[in-house]
Amino acid sequence: LYKSTGDMDWLRKVYFIIKNSTEDDLNVVWDYQKYLFKGESSFLDWREQSYPKWMEPIDIYNSYNLGTQAVHYQSLQVLIKMGKILGKDVQKYQDISEALKNSLNEKLWLPEKKYFGQYLYGRKNQLLSDKSETLGEALMVLWGITNEERQKEIISNTPVTKFGTPCFYPQIPNIPAYHNQAIWPFVQAYWNWASSRTNNVESIQWGIANMLRSSALFLTNKENLLIENGDFNGTEINSDRQLWSVAGSLSTFYRILM
């Protein structure tokens, strides 16, 4: 809103709101030893869909998810930009964001797979999941949280399927389709946008084709689609005119084609 209107009163108001929220995060979920934020995935919030069944809420709280780290990092960047305009001392947040960026690249990168792992998890000794998390991978590219070489490797190596980018890969057996066994158009949109940032034309063309295919076949913007056949029929929950699917479709035109 500030960038659209230049309203300094608005900027001063929301700066303190975001600063207070950030301080809450630093007090509750920031790990001062690992330099990572605790907590579950940003939208993969139906726990059995994307976490092992043995994990209880406390285990998920004590895990470190890729996409969640990316959102925290970008939130810090926004806070820093606001603070600089307002003449505030933001050195603390710059230091934390830099520590987060370095830790994320050090602890969650899978060098043999050339993409980031979905999360660090476990109890006594934490392990890095070797699953990819498509939204998190895309945000690492879009927000420049990793270097250009890794950005290109992410787009070239993160697993995809015939009908689009899965929420994560590989899938969890014997769990019905929703986040698991499914493609979400809004995630596909972020993937397309990230692909354009690395000039991966093959990935962009494939991504746009998948976005257009689903909306053209079903004459609406579905919430999610099955990996196995690209159909919406068979997912646990779904809806027509899903707003973030609509927004993802529009953004593919605005941010890539135009």
Q: Are 131 and 169 in contact (CB under 8 A)?
A: yes
* Opening angle at CA 168, ends 74 and 31, nearest 5: 45
Q: What local confidence, expressed as pLDDT, does residue 208 receive?
A: 95
For the segment 213-246, what is each residue's pLDDT rounded down to a tens digit? 999 999 999 999 999 999 999 999 999 999 999 9
Instruction: Round the average pLDDT of the chain to a whole number and report it.
Output: 96
- Residue 140 clears pLDDT 90, i.e. is over it: yes
Q: What local confidence, expressed as pLDDT, does residue 124 receive?
A: 86
For the segment 2-40, what is each residue's pLDDT rounded down to a tens digit? 999 999 999 999 999 999 999 999 999 999 999 999 999
For residue 136, give both structure tokens: 């998190």
Q: What local confidence, expressed as pLDDT, does residue 51 receive?
A: 95
Q: What local confidence, expressed as pLDDT, does residue 138 receive?
A: 98
Q: What local confidence, expressed as pLDDT, does residue 42 receive?
A: 86
Say which DSSP state 170 is in. Answer: S
* Opening angle at CA 79, ends 7 and 106, nearest 5: 155
Q: What local confidence, expressed as pLDDT, does residue 31 receive?
A: 97
DSSP assignments along 68-113, one per residue: HHHHHHHHHHHHHHHHHHTT---HHHHHHHHHHHHHHHHHSEETTT
Count Cα atoms within 13 angstroms, Cβ side, for 112. 4
Q: Rounded mean pLDDT of 99-123? A: 97
For the segment 45-84, what is each residue's pLDDT rounded down to a tens digit? 898 999 999 999 999 999 999 999 999 999 999 999 999 9
Separation CA 250–CA 223 (nearest Å)? 15
Entry pTM: 0.96
For the segment 179-205, what is each residue's pLDDT rounded down to a tens digit? 999 999 999 999 999 999 999 999 999
For the segment 146-183, what is each residue's pLDDT rounded down to a tens digit? 999 999 999 999 999 999 999 999 999 999 999 999 99
Q: What local confidence, expressed as pLDDT, does residue 9 receive?
A: 97
